[in-house]
Structure 1
Amino acid sequence: MTDITRLVTDQQALGVSKLINEQVPPLADGQALMRIHRLAVTTNNITYAAFGHTPHLRYWDYYPVADQGWGQMPAWGFAEVVESTVEGVEPGERFYGFWPIATHVVVDPVRVSQRGFYDGRDYRLELVSAYNQYQRVHTDAAYRPENEDYQMLLRPLFITSFMLADYLEDNGFFGARRVVISSASSKTAYGTVFCLQDRDDLDVVGLTSASNKAFVEGLGCYDQVVGYDGITGLDPSVPTMYVDFSGNDGVRATIHHHLTEQLVHNCYAGSAHNHEHINEAEWTLPGPAPRRYFAPDQIRKRNADWGPAEVTRRFNEAQLAFIDRVQQPDSPWLTVEEHQGLEAAQTLIQSLVDGRVDPVKGHVVVL
């Protein structure tokens, strides 16, 4: 029997968590016991948790919890095989994937290949495939041991950024000549801008809070940085699309009222501040109703267009370039802060829920 500890979250109060201890019985055939080593815990985890019951996400369903109203929050990171009854998944191997915030987890590896495996538990097969595969580090062309923290902090966000930039280009930016991006200090937002940096036919405007404005200006990737109180100073005659990473109702209303005639598209890419859904049936603002962007949709399209191997090659190349940029010693966009143990993870999660985080820091939980 193996003792494991899990951090579970109150689904109605995301800053509230508790630790539960369990014993795992001996492995059955077709199972592997993984020891979770390190995890990246970011605002993105909080966003996913807030939308955890939506049909396209089902965030709480990856690692079910018996206690009603509580959920197991997953996070991206690295784990090693402790014990296995599955051929091709050997003790000591290290895998990257979507793990629970816990000391250990039992998985049912299927479709085992050189690349890795999928978790074959019945309920997992109904969930989004991108979150159900586990990559061997020694066959991952973009893996660098010294970049583990950056990989797990940035890859899950950067795949959204990379595919969002591709989605916008694929749609000709919906005819816009200016792209306005809220929550410009978020990693997903500036990752998207990084992927658009070679375009000279677009004006990219970052919207941010007064407290984060200096940080966003220091990134140097936006053509213009505007505080949320400066939206009405934007030229209303320029065809504009809005990429909404904030979910802030007031910001959205100001943009729609100010840019009504020239607002060509509202791309709802995430929510850093508002944990409620936009109900299109109740849409009353002038201009286009928001259209949700979901990275797996664009991944599926490009897998069909280019083939999975080419999608992976392009993404790996961009990811390595992005990681190299964010950790440049003379002007880093991101520094790593480690938190030791599950108790420290509880404090970190509460801080993320409360918005008490420095945008230049990336948070890693070491178990």
Structure 2
Amino acid sequence: MPNSSPTPGKVTRLITRKNALDQSRIDEHVDDLVAAPGEIILRLERFSLTTNNITYAAFGDSMNYWDFFPTGQEDWGHVPVWGFADVVASTVEGITVGERFYGYFPIASHLRMQPERVTDRGFYDGSAHRRQLTSAYNQYTRCNWDPYYSAATEDLQILLKPLFLTSSMLADFLQDNDFFGATRLVFSSASSKTAFATAVCLEGAGVKRVALTSRGNTAFVADLGCYEQTIAYDELDHLAADQPTLYVDFSSDLALRDRVHQHFGEQLVYSCCAGSAQSTDPAQLTAITGPQPQLFFAPIQLRKRNADWGPQQVSAHIGEGLVRFYEQITPILDVVVSHGYASAEELITRLYRGQVPADEGHIVTL
């Protein structure tokens, strides 16, 4: 039966200045924490913070990421995170207090939702302000349903599943289009987890994978074993422009993009803007020469594959790939767990400033 657990208390949240992502502050208010009809209240227990979250904030206006969790303050937003939350109050049939869900949350102690399309798998948040937003971010999965969930791998799931979904769909998109005729892929910010997860997904695809990275990360990237060649950014000119090449841009560094386009010239067959590991500017889809960059948005390819394969096969494709990725990355990933909003505030600043080592994965518990 639906139930409600009225536990009046304090709601804490961390909000970030939209035009200065290294500025965040802790905000508190009192809430009765009683679920209204058709509503549940979840308490966020743990979440990950990665470059992926900085990308959400960087594209917050252009891709509506700020709109998922309005703060009521025009200049301040919630940096969205992936995590696990427990139901503390419910008036919704089929969702009970104590259930644990995986999904997309603000950095806040509690969140009210209006579940719809409730199934054994989970639900979608039907709150009015989210109805026009990308549905993939509105879906919440029951942990006791998910065949790929394990309490022992919760930290890996929230660190890697969000980016792996992007990586898996990006790899699928490139293969689905026969790499636009390219025989070589060049990845910028190749040390980022989303970049090398994409490279891992393309193992055996018949194209050469070349990593572009900072000089300090070359050894780490070479040791990953998922790129055939690793070069530093200042060595780009050493890479021969002798074959059809596809640029997979995870940096959104406009100066680097122009260097890549000019260097490869007519051999550059496609330019894919896949993320923003180094820049917090809005996506700019321009280049001095060659093909104009195209923004990759994973939910579009996900929607295509749901229609082509069916949701169950898509879930299996991503879930099985993710489990394999866990095995590959665990030996090289240092999972660091910290506690509280002040830790999250510090991490956002460090991520924004590029001060988090590539081999670290950060979890925050509340």
So what's the TM-score if we normalise by structure 1?
0.95
**Matching of residue 312 in structure 1 with residue 311 in structure 2:** no
Which of 156, 172, 179 does residue 185 from structure 2 map onto?
A: 179
Measured in 1, the distance between the counterparts of 2:263 and 2:80 equals 39
Q: Which residue in the other structure is 1:211 paired with?
A: 216
**Matching of residue 303 in structure 1 with residue 306 in structure 2:** yes
Matched residue type, 2:156: Y
SS of equivalent residue, structure 1 residue 237: coil
Q: Which residue in the other structure is 1:343 paired with?
A: 342
**Matching of residue 355 in structure 1 with residue 328 in structure 2:** no
Matched residue type, 1:19: I
Q: Which residue in the other structure is 1:58 paired with?
A: 64
Measured in 2, the distance between the counterparts of 1:27 and 1:196 equals 46
Q: Which residue in the other structure is 1:291 paired with?
A: 294
Q: Which residue in the other structure is 2:80 paired with?
A: 74
How far the C-alpha of 1:259 sits from its partner, in A, is: 0.5
How far the C-alpha of 1:6 sits from its partner, in A, is: 0.4
Change (3 A) 1:68 1:277: closer
Which of 109, 116, 125 does residue 119 from structure 1 map onto?
A: 125
Measured in 2, the distance between the counterparts of 1:274 and 1:74 equals 17
| CA contact 2:59–2:283 (8 Å) conserved in 1 | no
Which of 246, 255, 273 does residue 250 from structure 1 map onto?
A: 255
How far the C-alpha of 1:12 sits from its partner, in A, is: 1.1
Instruction: Note the alpha carbon deviations across 1:10-39, whole angstroms, 9 max, x for none.
Output: 111111111111122332111111111100
Task: Please provide the CA RMSD for this pair.
Answer: 1.1
How far the C-alpha of 1:2 sits from its partner, in A, is: 2.7
Measured in 2, the distance between the counterparts of 1:42 and 1:279 equals 22
Matched residue type, 1:317: E
Q: Which residue in the other structure is 2:3 paired with?
A: none
Measured in 2, the distance between the counterparts of 1:126 and 1:40 equals 26
Measured in 1, the distance between the counterparts of 2:169 and 2:363 equals 24
Measured in 2, the distance between the counterparts of 1:82 and 1:354 equals 36
Instruction: Note the alpha carbon deviations across 1:182-203, whole angstroms, 9 max, x for none.
Output: 000000000001101123x211
**Matching of residue 170 in structure 1 with residue 176 in structure 2:** yes
Measured in 2, the distance between the counterparts of 1:339 and 1:300 equals 35
Q: Which residue in the other structure is 1:109 paired with?
A: 115
Q: Which residue in the other structure is 1:4 paired with?
A: 11
Measured in 1, the distance between the counterparts of 2:141 and 2:187 equals 32
Measured in 1, the distance between the counterparts of 2:41 and 2:78 equals 18
Measured in 2, the distance between the counterparts of 1:324 and 1:80 equals 28
Measured in 2, the distance between the counterparts of 1:227 and 1:86 equals 54
**What is the identity percentage for the equivalent residue pairs of Structure 1 and Structure 2?**
48
How far the C-alpha of 1:256 sits from its partner, in A, is: 1.0
**Matching of residue 268 in structure 1 with residue 273 in structure 2:** yes
Which of 15, 18, 23 does residue 16 from structure 1 map onto?
A: 23
| CA contact 1:3–1:24 (8 Å) conserved in 2 | yes
Measured in 2, the distance between the counterparts of 1:49 and 1:164 equals 20
Change (3 A) 1:227 1:112: same
Matched residue type, 1:356: Q
SS of equivalent residue, structure 2 residue 351: helix
Change (3 A) 1:152 1:279: closer
| CA contact 1:181–1:204 (8 Å) conserved in 2 | yes
| CA contact 2:12–2:26 (8 Å) conserved in 1 | yes
SS of equivalent residue, structure 1 residue 126: coil
Change (3 A) 1:284 1:85: closer
Measured in 2, the distance between the counterparts of 1:123 and 1:284 equals 35
Q: Which residue in the other structure is 1:48 paired with?
A: 56
| CA contact 1:232–1:254 (8 Å) conserved in 2 | no
Measured in 1, the distance between the counterparts of 2:337 and 2:356 equals 14
| CA contact 2:287–2:293 (8 Å) conserved in 1 | no
How many residues are matched?
A: 358
Matched residue type, 1:165: A
Change (3 A) 1:278 1:135: closer
Which of 139, 151, 155 does residue 149 from structure 1 map onto?
A: 155
SS of equivalent residue, structure 1 residue 138: coil
Measured in 2, the distance between the counterparts of 1:365 and 1:284 equals 38
Matched residue type, 1:348: L
Matched residue type, 2:359: V
| CA contact 2:70–2:77 (8 Å) conserved in 1 | yes
How far the C-alpha of 1:214 sits from its partner, in A, is: 1.1
Measured in 1, the distance between the counterparts of 2:326 and 2:150 equals 11
So what's the TM-score if we normalise by structure 2?
0.96
Q: Which residue in the other structure is 2:4 paired with?
A: none
